[in-house]
A and B are shown apart, each in its own frame.
Chain A
Amino acid sequence: MTGLRADGLRLAYDDRVVVPDLSLTVPEGRISVIVGANACGKSTLLRALARLLTPKAGSVHLDGRSIHGMPTRDVARRLGILPQAPVAPEGLTVIDLVTRGRSPHQSWWRQWSSADETAVTGALRATGLTDLADRPVDELSGGQRQRAWIAMAVAQETPVLLLDEPTTFLDLAHQIDVLDLVVDLNRHQGRTVVMVLHDLNQACRYADHVIAMKAGRIVTHGTPADVVTPDLVSEVFDVTCQIATDPVSGTPLVIPTSRHHVHNGQESPVRTDA
């Protein structure tokens, strides 16, 4: 029994229940993307899968063992997490940060093995940060900083990688870079990836498996082609849309309708519930 699985999760911050009862099996070796409107519980779910949040009920199993019962270091060798908007101490250089991704593999007497070096060099190259390795993280641009954090998670070399909105702060080119990088990690190294993404079209293009959430529940899940329909988008995001085919990737392309742009004869309903 391998992989990441959640059973009957109940997640809450203090008394505020965000996810009442949720079960999920993450497809192994695939890229899963969690989508949903703001505050639907997608980041909360990701935090629970990464043991950053202890569920009030239910359990998360990694490779058949309860994630909360495992030594946290063992988990860290199998599952990496990049939280939203992490903060590095001022003056920490890129290479120092990426090197810290190796800490679950290190011990006091083995602080810099050749495996560490290979992993860090590889992570820097994959994220295009090799030339910036000696720059302090806080002096980098937003996009470079985000890539440095991703490089840290990459250097951790875990079979499962969880990313909470990895494309925030990035310009379009870097968004594509990062998501292509994620695909590389998945295709070439067989890593299982679970991401939270804001952009539904990016989710469609990069996900093997889309998990759509609303109000703490999974509305549906499956391949983008099967799952992403006008009805789903309307239910999850409260937006009417048409679905076209992405001319580049052949995946669904969500085109929201707008009150101000009425084209080819189709009248858009005026929203009155806003």
Chain B
Amino acid sequence: MAALTTVRLTTPPVSWVVRPRLLAVSVALCCAGFLLFCLGMTVGDYPLSLGQVLAALVSEGSYYDQVVVYDWRMPRALVGLLVGIAFGMAGALFQTITRNPLASPDVIGISAGATTAVVAGIVLGFGAGIGTQTLGLAGGVGAALTIYLLAWRRGTTGYRIVLVGVGVAWMCTSATGYLLARAKLHEAQAVVGWMVGNLNDATWGRVVPLLVSMAVLVPIAVVLGGWLRTLSLGDDVAVGLGTPVQQARLVLLLSGVGLVAFGTAAAGPVAFVALSAPQIAKRLAGWPVPPLVTSGFAGAVIVLGGDLVARSILPGTQLPVGVVTGALGAPFLLWLLTRANRAGSGG
């Protein structure tokens, strides 16, 4: 019989299963994420070495280095890290709940809702008073609520959520297109810059709300993520195994929506992260469904790596990170796809 590597204590009665490959992939991605987090802070008008950054992080090194690291560069790196984790985990939640690898927040309308709200704010001119962050948040949550309510008919099904989400996404995308075609050219450029996802304007003021929301949402998602194990077997089996399917789906979707909305508010809908990170994590870890925490780490690696590349290929220009995450994540996902010896996957 296949032995599971387990950790088990008798007092207190605690036990866990250890999955070696999953654990190894998670640790590797986590380390890679931290390395990129630090590397990102070496880049800028005042170049630092990796050693200087690390020293400053533990409050050593020169005063000036510490100012550069903490006041100038850390917000950007932190937003990248947090947004990556948020998008990766949210993508894993959506894809598992709906049992459809295409059902990332980009596809089912949440990012599109946030985008429309922000674009409307910029183009119609009421954005200045409210702020991009609040608009993005309101748009994302509003779209998600609309989708859930419209998909509710004596309970929801993952399938109905996806289809309704696609409808809502299209309405939002065309509204965005309409606004964009009527905007002045410089407004349109500002909008496009935000729409692909952008870490250029990260400040501590953006980090704090994101950090606080994630401190609440990530533990909820991780603790309740156990339900994903049964939800991925289909509604009937999940009920049979004692999962409160409707409540579980609602809470998990809500935490996913929260992660996407706060992430989008902070950095824009960084292209492709929520879709690719779970698929990449799943294939690296050889896991049948996207592993939640590992997907988060994968997301962080993609965003931070993307930002590093975005600033290195065209020094001087502030290329938005979303341009690179799409351009980098896509080939990698394709490579994993073609390498996989089994045909595709529905997880």
Contact = CB atoms under 8 A, between A and B. Distances in A.
Interface string B1-28: 1101010100011111100000000000
Interface residues of A, number: 50
Interface of A: 47, 50-52, 71-77, 80-83, 86-93, 95-97, 99-101, 103-104, 106, 108-114, 116-117, 121, 124, 130, 133-134, 136, 152-153, 156
B16 A72 contact: no
19 contacts: A52-B236, A76-B240, A81-B237, A82-B237, A83-B234, A86-B233, A87-B234, A90-B342, A90-B345, A95-B4, A96-B288, A99-B4, A108-B226, A111-B15, A111-B17, A112-B8, A113-B8, A117-B6, A124-B1
Given A74-B242, A96-B288, A121 B1 contact: yes
Contact of A112 (B2, B16, B233): B16
Contacts, number: 123
A106 B230 CA distance: 12
B289 interface: yes
Contacts of B2: 93, 95, 133-134
Given A89-B289, A91-B342, A156-B241, A111 B16 contact: yes
A72 B246 CA distance: 11
Interface residues on B, range: 35 or more
A115 B71 CA distance: 53
B288 A110 contact: no
Contact of B346 (A89, A103, A113): A89
Nearest to A101: B241
A153 B346 CA distance: 23
A103 B6 contact: no
B156 interface: no
Contacts of A133: 1-2
A82 B240 contact: yes
Interface of B: 1-2, 4, 6, 8, 12-17, 99, 223, 226, 229-230, 232-234, 236-237, 239-244, 286-289, 342, 344-347
A130 to B, nearest CB: 5
Contacts of A87: 233-234
A100 B230 contact: yes
A213 to B, nearest CB: 21
Q: Which 6 A-B pairs have the closest CB atoms?
A: A76-B242, A104-B242, A81-B240, A73-B242, A91-B288, A92-B288
Given A91-B345, A121-B1, A76 B8 contact: no
Contacts of B243: 72-73, 76, 103
Given A47-B236, A91-B345, A112-B6, 7 more contacts: A50-B240, A89-B232, A89-B347, A93-B288, A97-B233, A103-B241, A111-B17
Contacts of B345: 89-91
Contacts of B1: 95, 121, 124, 130, 133
Residue in B6, B237, B244 with the greatest tally of chain A CB atoms within 10 Å: B237
B226 A113 contact: no
Given A76-B242, A89-B347, A110-B13, A103 B229 contact: yes
Contact of A81 (B236, B286, B287, B342): B236
A71 B230 CA distance: 16
Nearest to B247: A72
Contacts of B237: 81-83, 86, 152
A96 to B, nearest CB: 7
A76 B238 CA distance: 10
A82 B232 CA distance: 15
A77 B243 CA distance: 11
B236 A83 contact: yes
A52 B233 contact: no
Contacts of A104: 241-242
A110 B99 CA distance: 26
A89 B92 CA distance: 14
A15 to B, nearest CB: 13
A205 to B, nearest CB: 26
Contacts of B13: 110, 113
Contacts of B289: 89, 92
